[in-house]
């Protein structure tokens, strides 16, 4: 059988012949139907993810849609170690999967589950209450941020502000549920004013950007709070703007700020598994705006370097 294989962290994966390892206890072989190229997969394949080890070669892919030995179509998550989902077959723990209804588009499910999960888990597992909350999505123009706007509304958020630097994408977000937008590409004074206005009564931030943007946002929000002791839960989810952020110390003293993360490690695997069926149902029935494009697995190397806003999904 064939798979995408990373032999060197500096080079995109190659499509080549491999042998599926023997299943370990609790694993079943699954025919992969679709596996998406998420940022998480890129960081697995270049060795930069915080869970990465130096072990090579590896087959990339942290999740996917596949058909199990009983013929059931399932969405599955993988630990992100040596054998991933970008292969004709992979090994899945059925307990870390959710069956999918007949007739769903596996490419859309593979594309949307990982980015949708980022906000779903944050809002259901890392935040005290989403219903009625005022939410800021920082970095709202990517796959995960766009879905975060929709998921927050779906989970009952009273008001969602979407902040992003791509103006064209930002303008599409009110139609997906955003009540207000902030263009991070505007002049710094305008950005600060927008963040301060949003920050007055904010309850939750879903932060996909981090880096200097987060520090700027906190500097704008702290003096703007209407009630300093109102809880603001700031959830660190992504880091497209930088892996580190110079958080102002006053932010933690001058307001009731709770800084938490949401991701592999901070959300218990049992909690992820518990939410999978609900997220799969959402994706397949919720009418979410998902931009997905199928690419043959054999073209994995070209897919790696393609420039596109669509979430590419490798199809064996």
Judged by the rule CB under 6 A, the positions of this chain that interact with ligand NAP are 38-40, 114-115, 118, 139, 141-145, 164-166, 184, 208-209, 213, 237-241, 262-263
**Least distance in Å: CB of 128 to ligand NAP?**
19
Judged by beta carbon, residue 92 or residue 144, the one nearer ligand NAP is 144
**Least distance in Å: CB of 233 to ligand NAP?**
15
Nearest to residue 34, comparing CAs of 96, 83, 6, 76?
76
Judged by beta carbon, residue 62 or residue 92, the one nearer ligand NAP is 62
Residue with tokens 């879905």: 147
What is the C-alpha separation between 48 and 200, in angstroms, rounded? 36
- Strand ranges (E), the chain: 2-5, 14-17, 28-36, 63-67, 73-77, 89-92, 97-99, 134-138, 159-164, 180-183, 204-207, 232-236, 257-261, 292-296, 311-315
The phi, psi pair for 254, rounded to 5°, reads -85, -10
Judged by beta carbon, residue 28 or residue 240, the one nearer ligand NAP is 240
The phi, psi pair for 110, rounded to 5°, reads -60, -40
**Least distance in Å: CB of 100 to ligand NAP?**
20
- Cβ partners under 8 Å of residue 227, min gap 6: none
**Least distance in Å: CB of 217 to ligand NAP?**
11
Residue with tokens 């490690």: 265
**Least distance in Å: CB of 183 to ligand NAP?**
10
**Least distance in Å: CB of 168 to ligand NAP?**
8
C-alpha dihedral (56, 59, 61, 65), degrees to nearest 10 = -160
Judged by beta carbon, residue 143 or residue 150, the one nearer ligand NAP is 143
Nearest to residue 115, comparing CAs of 79, 147, 141?
147
3-state secondary structure 8-64: CCCCCCEEEECCCCCCCCCCEEEEEEEEECCHHHHHHHCCCCCCCCCCCCEECCCEE
Judged by beta carbon, residue 13 or residue 238, the one nearer ligand NAP is 238
Judged by beta carbon, residue 199 or residue 225, the one nearer ligand NAP is 199
Judged by beta carbon, residue 90 or residue 239, the one nearer ligand NAP is 239
**Least distance in Å: CB of 167 to ligand NAP?**
9
Which residue number places its CB atom closest to ligand NAP? 142
């Amino acid at each position: 059988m064939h798979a995408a294989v990373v032999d060197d962290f500096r080079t995109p994966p190659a499509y080549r012949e491999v042998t599926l390892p023997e299943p370990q206890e609790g694993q079943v072989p699954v025919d992969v139907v679709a596996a998406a190229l998420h940022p998480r997969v890129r960081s697995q394949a270049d060795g930069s993810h915080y869970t990465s080890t130096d072990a090579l070669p590896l087959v990339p892919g942290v999740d996917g849609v596949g058909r199990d030995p009983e013929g059931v179509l399932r969405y599955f998550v993988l630990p992100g170690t040596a054998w991933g989902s970008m292969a004709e077959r992979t090994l899945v723990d059925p307990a870390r999967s959710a069956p999918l209804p007949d007739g769903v588009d596996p490419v859309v499910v593979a594309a949307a589950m990982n980015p949708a999960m980022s906000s779903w888990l944050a809002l259901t597992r890392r935040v005290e209450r989403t219903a009625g909350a005022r939410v800021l999505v920082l970095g709202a123009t990517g796959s995960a941020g766009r879905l975060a706007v929709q998921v927050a509304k779906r989970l009952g958020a009273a008001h969602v502000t979407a902040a992003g630097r791509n103006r064209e994408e930002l303008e599409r977000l009110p139609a997906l549920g955003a009540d207000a937008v902030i263009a991070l590409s505007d002049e710094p004074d305008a950005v600060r004013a927008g963040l301060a206005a949003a920050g007055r009564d904010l309850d939750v931030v879903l932060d996909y950007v981090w880096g200097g943007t987060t520090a700027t946002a906190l500097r704008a929000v702290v003096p703007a709070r209407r009630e300093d002791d109102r809880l603001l839960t700031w959830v660190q989810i992504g880091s497209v703007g930088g892996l580190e952020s110079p958080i102002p110390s006053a932010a933690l003293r001058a307001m009731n700020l709770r800084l938490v993360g949401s991701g592999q490690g901070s959300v218990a695997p049992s909690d992820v598994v518990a939410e999978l069926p609900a997220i799969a149902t959402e994706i397949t029935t919720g009418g979410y705006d998902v931009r997905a494009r199928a690419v043959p697995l054999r073209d994995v190397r070209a897919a790696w370097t393609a420039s596109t806003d669509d979430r590419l999904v490798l199809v064996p």
